[in-house]
Amino acid sequence: MDKKKILAVNELSKIYKGEGYKVEALKNISFKLELGEMIAVMGTSGSGKSTLLNILGALDEPTAGSIELNGNHTKEMFKEPHASLYRRDNIGFIFQSFHLLKDLSVEENIALPLILKGIHKDLITPKVNQVIKLVGLMNWRKHRPIQLSGGQQQRVAIARAIITAPPIILADEPTGNLDFNTSSEILNILVDMKEQLSQSIILVTHDANVATYADRVLFFHDGNIVDEYKCEANNDLENILEKFKLITERQTV
Ligand code: ADP
Ligand code: MG
């Protein structure tokens, strides 16, 4: 069956320019994200991964190129007020360092995007109940982030990212601060969520094991997409490691 394209990245470039420096962080990259697809972006440090996520989340503007979301061309989306609205309606962010508000309870942190959207209080509680169940934190709703483990805090961040049911989740090293077992739990939640809610995910990682949870891996090097891998559930880890090794060797040439 043909999958539905949700996001198209068209010839995207980003140049950071300042006094005495010019960095080409993204060099004319193009790819498509499908509905319910998880793409892992793997690459060496400085290869442009975070720059890509920032642009996809309209936190930064590309130098050239465009993004199409649901088929709509959105060239103006990087300017305010469009950028904020685009983020609010389309994007859920998950970061390595959780970014929770420490003075709010778990349920208040999770409800925040709905409060900011101006949703009525009576409609917020059932939504919070729904996502808090999905991430398995029913018994922790009145706790503060500091009372939770790293894995539990990341679950709160995931619940917060999905509560508005955004079509796209952008995750920058979401398991970077977690141990192996906790990482697996978090990645399984992301996979479940993608399957249950048809969300599309772009996940940045430098960890081949994390990349095996994705449907497809894009390999970044020096601002380019230099390779791609479709996960098959067979020997994925070995194949991804092999491809990544080739890229890191390129760097030392
Ligand atoms: P990654 O996330 O893959 O480590 P980044 O996207 O953060 O890479 O960075 C890509 C390149 O752009 C690097 O060379 C980095 O130093 C540079 N860069 C990133 N942000 C800025 C900025 N705000 N100003 C200047 N250079 C930047
Ligand atoms: Mg980065």
Domain ranges of the chain: 5-101+170-252
CATH architecture entry for 5-101+170-252: 3-Layer(aba) Sandwich (3.40)
The pLDDT score that the predictor gives to residue 134 is 86
- Ligand 1 centroid, distance to 25 Cα (angstroms): 6
Q: Which residue has the higher pLDDT, 71 or 223?
A: 223
DSSP 51-72: HHHHHHTTSS--SEEEEEETTE
If one residue of 16, 24, 173, 219 were mutated to test the ligand 1 pocket, choosing by the most ligand atoms within 8 A of its CB, it would be: 16
- Ligand 1 centroid, distance to 146 Cα (angstroms): 31
If one residue of 12, 17, 21, 23 were mutated to test the ligand 1 pocket, choosing by the most ligand atoms within 8 A of its CB, it would be: 23
Residue pair 218/232 in contact by the 8 Å Cβ criterion: no
The pLDDT score that the predictor gives to residue 77 is 86
- Ligand 2 centroid, distance to 45 Cα (angstroms): 7
- Enclosing H/E stretch for 203: strand 200-205
- Ligand 2 centroid, distance to 136 Cα (angstroms): 29
Give the tens place of pLDDT for each residue, 170-182.
Answer: 999 899 888 888 8
- Ligand 1 centroid, distance to 234 Cα (angstroms): 34
CA dist 118 and 196 (Å) reads 26
Residue pair 23/43 in contact by the 8 Å Cβ criterion: no
Nearest listed ligand to the Cα of residue 46: 1
- Ligand 2 centroid, distance to 236 Cα (angstroms): 23
Structure tokens at 77: 């989306």
Give the tens place of pLDDT for each residue, 113-130.
Answer: 999 889 999 999 999 999
**Global pTM?**
0.91
Picking from 9, 4, 34, 13, the residue whose alpha carbon sits closest to that of residue 168 is 34
CA dist 34 and 215 (Å) reads 10
Q: First-to-last CA distance in the chain?
A: 42
Give the tens place of pLDDT for each residue, 4-16.
Answer: 889 999 999 999 9
Per the DSSP assignment, residues forming a β-bridge with 218 are: 41, 228
Q: Which atom of ligand 1 is nearest to the CA of 204?
A: 2
Residue pair 16/33 in contact by the 8 Å Cβ criterion: no
Closest-CA residue, ligand 1 atom 6, reads 48
If one residue of 51, 172, 244 were mutated to test the ligand 1 pocket, choosing by the most ligand atoms within 8 A of its CB, it would be: 51
Give the tens place of pLDDT for each residue, 50-74.
Answer: 999 999 999 999 999 999 987 777 7
Tell me the pLDDT band of 1, cut-offs 50, 70 and 90.
Answer: very low
Ligand 1: residues within 6 Å at CB? Answer: 16, 23, 25, 43, 45-51
